[in-house]
Structure 1
Amino acid sequence: MAEEKDAFYVVKKGGVVGIYKSLKDIQPLIASSSDPCASGGRSLGVSSSSKLLQGAFQSDTSKISGSSLHSTNSQRQVPLGGSSFGLTSSQRQLTPEVSPLVSTNSQRQLTLGGSQAQLSNSLSCTLEFDGASKGNPGPAGAGAILRAADGSKVYRIREGVGTQTNNVAEYRALLLGLKQALQKGYRHIQIRGDSLLVCKQVNGEWKQKNQNMAMLCAQVNQLKANFLSFQINHVLREKNSEADAQANLAINLRAGQVEEDCEDLRR
């Protein structure tokens, strides 16, 4: 019998199964045994990739109990490289228990994903702004409505801006809302206003021809850099009525005076 490279030799004698690497080691057993292993004395080939497994079986003892190796015909047919080699049927039944671990891990990822979504939602808000001026220029006020994206709170904010034009009041209202949003910890913001000039200039679509407008737009851009996401859109006046109401109330405030009302919707 020629010795095959990288092969195991399994010999069963009585109730004991022995695994050997060399033909020379099993020659005495073959000669004296009338009960070769179920492979008919054939060597079970092992690929070079299985050398690590091969070494694992060449432990200090060369004999293992027959109940843990080749106890059934179906087990004899499993290659050494197979994942079920050397397992009893009861041991193989444990294999599906890996599935709950995968499911649990997926559940953790879903939970984590949910937590991240909740965190992002808690850092998000919408801002509605408007400015008012009686006389243009004249007594002016700035108003803003700040809404938490998770629906928990609504802030109504107003500021007196002295004698100013309507465009200045609009910019002051936007600045007022942005400052309040940052102070309250919001980092994602969606903005709506009925001033086409302010929305277009902040988006970079219109140039600031007036120096005063340019300075105010630069202040907005400085605050904008503190947000993780920032979006501003123009809306029609009738869809900005709440911010407009705050701006008209602010006309009666002294310049720089700020008032704020907060409604906690969770109560």
Structure 2
Amino acid sequence: MQNSSTMKLVIYTDGGSRGNPGPAAIGVVIQNEDRETIKKYGEAIGEKTNNEAEYQAVIFALKKVKQLLGKEKVKEMPLEIRMDSELVASQLNHQYKIMEPNIQQLFLQIWNLMIGFGPIKFVAVPRAQNKEADRLVNEALDKKQAGLF
């Protein structure tokens, strides 16, 4: 593993909703650049749309990385956040406008969180490359659903 001052993190995020809006969850997989998983999370987040869940996953990931590594380490550390939502990646990269007020608020939360980080790149990847984060979303939704009955 590289020295933490030059280490890059690759973070896979996913958000999903059953119903859109409906019960929603997020999945986050944090890896070093050697593809070794550092931490992974799957969590139900209440009633959301798919896009809201995608944004919530990025917010959760940024907060967790800062918690895990500390403010000082993340200031210079490059992050690559990969997701299978081309729309959300394009919005976060300023390629598409955001029209929905709820999404605008989530977008602003992300940009405010980014102030404490080094360079962050948002990348849309094929769904097949985001399987683990997707699995964590579905696992969290299944657990939540099982708890209701």
State the Cα distance separating 1:149 from its structure 2 match: 3.1
1:10-159 correspondence runs (5 A): 118-122=3-7, 124-149=8-33, 153-159=37-43
State the Cα distance separating 1:253 from its structure 2 match: 5.8
Q: Secondary structure at the residue paired with 2:3?
A: helix
State the Cα distance separating 1:252 from its structure 2 match: 4.4
Distance in 1 (CA, whole Å) between partners of 2:4 and 2:135 is: 32
> Once the two structures are superposed, what CA deviation does each residue of 1:52-80 show, in whole Å capped at 9, x if it has no partner?
xxxxxxxxxxxxxxxxxxxxxxxxxxxxx
Distance in 2 (CA, whole Å) between partners of 1:242 and 1:150 is: 16
> Once the two structures are superposed, what CA deviation does each residue of 1:199-232 show, in whole Å capped at 9, x if it has no partner?
1111111111000010001111111111111111
RMSD between superposed Cα atoms in Å: 1.8
> Partner of 1:184 in structure 2?
68
Higher relative contact order, structure no. (Cα contacts within 8 Å, ≥ 6 residues apart): 2
- Is the Cα–Cα contact under 8 Å of residues 29 and 37 in structure 2 kept in the other structure? no
Q: Secondary structure at the residue paired with 2:97?
A: coil
* Amino acid corresponding to residue 121 of structure 2 in structure 1: Q
State the Cα distance separating 1:184 from its structure 2 match: 1.5
Distance in 1 (CA, whole Å) between partners of 2:142 and 2:58 is: 19
Distance in 2 (CA, whole Å) between partners of 1:131 and 1:181 is: 17
Normalised to the residue count of structure 2, the TM-score between the two structures is 0.83
Percent of aligned positions with the same letter in both sequences?
34
State the Cα distance separating 1:239 from its structure 2 match: 1.2
- Is the Cα–Cα contact under 8 Å of residues 121 and 150 in structure 1 kept in the other structure? no
Distance in 2 (CA, whole Å) between partners of 1:220 and 1:184 is: 18
Structure having the larger proportion of residues in helix: 2
Work out whether 1:169 is the aligned partner of 2:53: yes
Structure whose CA Rg is larger: 1
Number of equivalent positions: 137
Structure 2 stretches lacking a partner, 5+ long: 145-149
